[in-house]
Chain A
Amino acid sequence: MTNTLSRRDFLKVSGATIGAAVLGQFIPPWVAEAARANGMLDATNSGYIPSMCEMCVWRCGLLAKVEEGRVVKLEGNPDHPHSNGKLCPRGQSGLMNTYDPDRVLTPLIRVGKRGEGLFRKASWEAALDLVAQNMLDIKQKYGPEAMIFSTTHCLSQSQFESLLNGFGSPNYGTQRSLCFNAMIVSNLTTYGMEEPDRRYDDLKYIILTGRNLMEAISTSETSALSQAIDRGVKVVTLDPRFTKTAAKSAEWLAIRPGTDLAFHLALINVIITEYLYNRQFVSDYTSGFDRLASNITQYTPEWAASITEIPADTIRRIAREFAVAAPYALAHNGWRTSNFVNSFQTERAIGILNALAGNWGVAMFPASGEESGVLGTPPQPPYPRVSAQRLDGVPWKYPFVPLKIGVFQELREAAISGTPYQAHGWFISRQNPAMSLPDRGRTLEAFSKMDFIATIDILMNDTAWFSDVVLPEASYLERYDPLNIVGDKAFIRQPVIEPQGEGRSALWIYKELGTRLGLSDFFQYADEEDYLKQQLAPLGVSLDQVRQTGYVELPSEIGEFSEPNWNTPSGKIELYSTTLDQGGFAAVPQWEEPPAPQPGQFYLLTGKVAQSTQFGTQNNQLLHKYSDEPRLWMNVTTAKNLGLANNDLVEVASTAGKIHIKLEATQAIRPDCVYLTPGYGHLSKGLTVAYGVGASDSDLHVTYTDPISGGQALSQTFVTVKKI
């Protein structure tokens, strides 16, 4: 069947799921016809088609090599700024994602108990009708707010929001609070934007706090960092683990978890007390310096040294080196900053550090926005007014969290507690909350409170496994998505092969579902191509043209750097945040002592590897082939003291739950920490490669939410480890 699999490799799929890869025999080959008409494929249906990867959020542009109607290789698209012609291991493995024998290729309706994995095939009509019926029932009985809609941020986000908002529910779950809320909310309060862009070309000094770019690969940024190191840029990495990024850095500081804040406060202390900050920039473009300065005097390097376990001299030296290199110095604001409750303060400190260095326009730039008004959108009426409170506490409990981001773990908690009201249904699209939310046991408990759960996915991921209806999305190589703006271009995702089985794009699924929910006004496009044409209309470019090149260039106002302007109350970079002050929170970064493990307990660290993306790629055979076995990292000396040896089976326990996993005794981690690569320990037997591999850290994570940013504090979970 597939070119990359021998017949031996065609694994037996669990009989309960219907995963056999069936070529779309019953759908007219419209992809091939159109691609041939466009000159992208020749008469044998062979050629290169440009599209976009979806193996992670970086969405590198790719060129899909198609041979006789099958995609046989993926190359990076040299024209795409996120890829520059390269693809990371996940990107290269993408066709295995499409041709995975475990693909869900027909709509499925549950017949057994939730979690048994017994489904029956159904037609799209029957499945969509069932989903709509259930959702309308819930709306009628309990109000639209009883329906939770959650998705991981993707290109069809606005169509998802049409469903959510059109339906009238305020309960919007995204993955962001599990990831970068601390960073986003901090940047919003400091710089008035979610995440400034970073450029490495002119840098001389970089401080990385976590941000394991060499393993959490964002292709172009990883490449830029590597090139910077090549040129001799000094990189300092703070990380309790000796990651691959730490290995490439000039200095690795094995900082105590939770104390990045102290480190950065001390850096600011040195830079301010020794007058090393960029005075002109601070005076012209920041507000609140004096209040910052007066508050910072207590945070000396000596104070920080005992907290962080990094020598005061080192802290002082780095502060000076950073300042000397300024403005060609960058303190990276990180990305997944869901570590400790004090991570928000850490992010504030990092943002301020950059401002003191005056590196705006050198290292940091205004974000090239996703939502600019230059693309067309289908017309739609205003959304109905929603009066119900959000279950996730935004904004009534979390006034600083943007509505589009939310606090996902709170949503889950409210689904269990029924406070302020009980949710009854959950509609999930391309998201795996059963694996991603902390404390998997509670997520499953939340599921049990639902009358109805429907999931859109391409594989029988864990969340799909526990759903009532599974709707098969076409994989990213098989579908259109709305255009994606990167820099000064808008890039297209288009199908490179005929969708297999009954897989359909989210654009289609949302419209079909929306129509059945009476929301067709919010989906005023005939099909995916029509939608894209409407997007392109203001630009006067045909869809065929864009499909050939893979992108359309945007009018030049986008992405140009003009006079600095920050969307804050003062219009400047807020060292002292009036917004935070008004909210009753610390207006300048304040030290918050993080919780620490008791004797016999360890910090449970999480992180990334280059061969997987969060919770959805562990079934990919190509990635599995080249992945390290997921084991629990523990420092060699600690292990010896506990009488544990490499590869021992151990039980790891927290107050949330426990897991069994093999131990990896390594030098590359602090003695008071253990580490587990997330994404393993799948419960779904429909993932025949991933099932039974490793264990899930979600079973261990305790839910802690930062009151300011809503970020989950993943590293505040402490565990015991003992031999089994």
Chain B
Amino acid sequence: MNLQIKIHPRFHMKPLVVILLALMGIAFIIAMVRYANGIGTISNLSNSYPWGFWISFDLFTGVAISSGAFLMAAVVYIFELKKFRPLVRPSVLTGFLGYTMVVIALLVDLGHPERIWYMMIHWNHTSVLLEIGICVMSYLAVLAIEFAPVVFEGLKWQKFAHFIHRFIMPFVILGVVLSTLHQSSLGSLLLIQPAKLHPLWWTPILPILFFVSAISIGLSMIIFESTLSARYFHRGLEIHLLDKLAKVIPIVLVVYLVIKFSQLTIAGDLKYLFTGGLMSVLFWAEILIGTVTPTILFSTKRIRQSANGLLLSSVILLLGMILNRFNVSWFGITHPDPITYLPAFMSSVHYIPSLPEVLVSIGIFSAGILAFGLAVKYLPVFEAEEHHGTES
């Protein structure tokens, strides 16, 4: 077998690389300032808003958009639908990089990043955040293992690649279990704040809603990543596969809508749909953009079978669902405001992320994009089908 790695068409994006590196550099400097002088010096987080942009964007959104990996692994390895093979490696790569970005972001957001491993040895079993922490860190290891063969093939260490492939199943199952747990637990994080999260979103079945929507997000991410890669890396697009995936999305979304509106009805919170002011607007935005519109779009064959249609529809769903994550973790939350505050430095503040805060997230995200590009360039990310057609 000729195992030379074909050099894929270079992405002629040197200016892009420079920009990405610059953004990473800026983020790095800001992070260093944060480590020296405290989170408050570079962010607008405060006692009134201890969680803000970083949690909503890096944690909630970051984890959500990495949900393609476990879906593809399940489809290909558990349900043995081998034709979806070509989609596995890119989605695992996306997941791996996504979760790595989450962990890096946590290393900036945590007060004691050097103690992040405490979650592995100090366990408070009632804590949702513990579960997320353990699952994220464990799943990152699982993703590393699932992606290792790609690396090994790139290094031409075929034996190691084969070895891992043979024992991939337990890790796939573990990965699905871990992903199910923490995708839903991100919703559970809010269970302990019933008074702070607006009734349009707070419900004891938040974890279920989060999991169901995570499926739709994962599928959309696979579609999004594939269509985008095809465009920028000048490779073929497996529209027939994406079409099949896209067909599932409306089903998932309808299930989601049914659960969501049933929940609102049973809880007696339907009234907030129109009386909640800004909250109502945000809710309808997330539903219309993230659920209703994509249902219609992905139900349309013509759209499902066109590259642009797929890209556009997946972007719309992702934006809507990201809005949902932001709503649940930030926009929908009102911290208690004991009216008069003295001392003056305790006055309740409204939270708008500072520019350095946003730049840190952008920098981390840029690192992810750059890493993705490098991986695609130097590793056989898109070559599963070609080299290992007969491998199980």
Instruction: Find out whether A and B make contact in their complex, taking CB atoms under 8 A apart as touching.
Output: yes
Instruction: Give the distance to chain B from A505, nearest Cβ to Cβ, in Å.
Output: 35
Task: Quote the shortest CB–CB distance from B256 to chain A (angstroms).
Answer: 47
A557 within 8 A of B: no
- Whole-angstrom CA separation of A628 from B344 in the bound complex: 8
Distance between A704 CB and nearest chain B CB, rounded to angstroms? 35
Question: Which residues of A are found within 8 Å of B343, using beta-carbon distances?
Answer: 625-626
Contact with A along B314-345 (1 / 0, CB 8 A): 00000000000000000000000000001110
Which single residue of chain B is at the shortest CB-CB distance from A611? B342
Query: Cβ of A629: which chain B residues have Cβ within 8 Å of it?
Result: 344
Q: Is the interface of A mostly helix, strand, loop or mixed?
A: loop
Annotate A447-485 by CB proximity to B: 1 below 8 A, 0 otherwise.
000000000000000000000000000000000000000
Residue of B nearest to A629 (CB): B344
CB distance from A117 to the nearest CB of B (A): 28
Binary contact readout A628-646 vs B (1 if CB under 8 angstroms, 0 otherwise): 1100000000000000000
For B342, list chain A residues within 8 Å (CB).
626, 628
**Bound CA span A626–B345, Å:** 10
Shortest B267–chain A CB gap in Å is: 40
A interface residues, how many (CB within 8 angstroms): 4
Chain A 499-534 near chain B by CB (<8 Å), digits 1 or 0: 000000000000000000000000000000000000
Q: How far is the CA of A604 from the CA of B344 in the complex (A)?
A: 26
CA distance A279 to B344 in the complex (A): 56
Within 8 A of A (CB), among B341-360: 342-344
Residues from chain A with a CB closer than 8 A to the CB of B344 are 629
Contact residues in B for A628 (Cβ distance below 8 Å) = 342
Please report which residues of chain A, range 612-660, place their CB below 8 angstroms from some CB of chain B when the two chains form the complex: 625-626, 628-629
A27 to B71, CA, bound (A): 78
- How far in angstroms is the closest Cβ of chain B from A690? 16
**In the bound complex, how far is the Cα of B120 from the Cα of A265, in angstroms?**
80
Measured between alpha carbons, how far is A625 from B344 in the docked complex, in Å? 8
Kindly provide the distance from the CB of B317 to the nearest chain A CB, expressed in whole angstroms.
46
Contact residues in B for A625 (Cβ distance below 8 Å):
343
For the complex formed, measure the closest distance between the CB of A711 and the CB atoms of chain B, giving whole angstroms: 34
| Chain A residue, CB-CB nearest to B345 | A625
B73 to chain A, nearest CB (A): 51
* Nearest CB of chain B from residue A276's CB, rounded to whole Å: 44
In angstroms, Cα B343 to Cα A628, docked, is 8
Find the B residue at minimum CB distance from A628. Answer: B342
* Cα-based distance from A629 to B345 in the complex (angstroms): 12
Distance between B38 CB and nearest chain A CB, rounded to angstroms: 11
Interface of chain A residues 217 through 256 with chain B (CB within 8 A) = none
**Nearest-Cβ distance from residue B233 to partner chain A, whole angstroms:** 52
How far does the alpha carbon of A463 sit from the alpha carbon of B53 in the complex, in Å?
Answer: 52
CB within 8 Å of A: which B81-124 residues:
none
Cα(A629)–Cα(B342), bound, Å: 10
A626 to chain B: closest residue by CB: B343
Least Cβ–Cβ distance between B47 and chain A, in angstroms? 16
Give Cα distance in the complex from A628 to B342, angstroms.
8
A690 to B158, CA, bound (A): 74
How far, in Å, is A295 (CB) from chain B's closest CB?
49
Once the chains are docked, how many angstroms separate the CA of A168 from the CA of B165?
107
Give chain A interface residues in 582-627, CB to chain B under 8 Å.
Answer: 625-626
Q: How far is the CA of A530 from the CA of B342 in the complex (A)?
A: 47
CB distance from A548 to the nearest CB of B (A): 38
> Closest CB-CB distance, A624 to chain B, in whole Å?
9
User: Whole-angstrom distance from the CB of A407 to the nearest CB of chain B?
Assistant: 39
Q: Mark A695-717, 1 if CB is under 8 A from B, else 0.
A: 00000000000000000000000
Chain A interface (Cβ within 8 Å of chain B)?
A: 625-626, 628-629
Interface residues of B, Cβ cutoff 8 Å to A = 342-344
Instruction: Kindly list the 5 A-B residue pairs having the minimum CB-CB distance in the complex, ordered from nearest.
Output: A625-B343, A626-B343, A626-B342, A629-B344, A628-B342
Sample 5 A-B pairs with CB under 8 A, ordered by A number: A625-B343, A626-B342, A626-B343, A628-B342, A629-B344
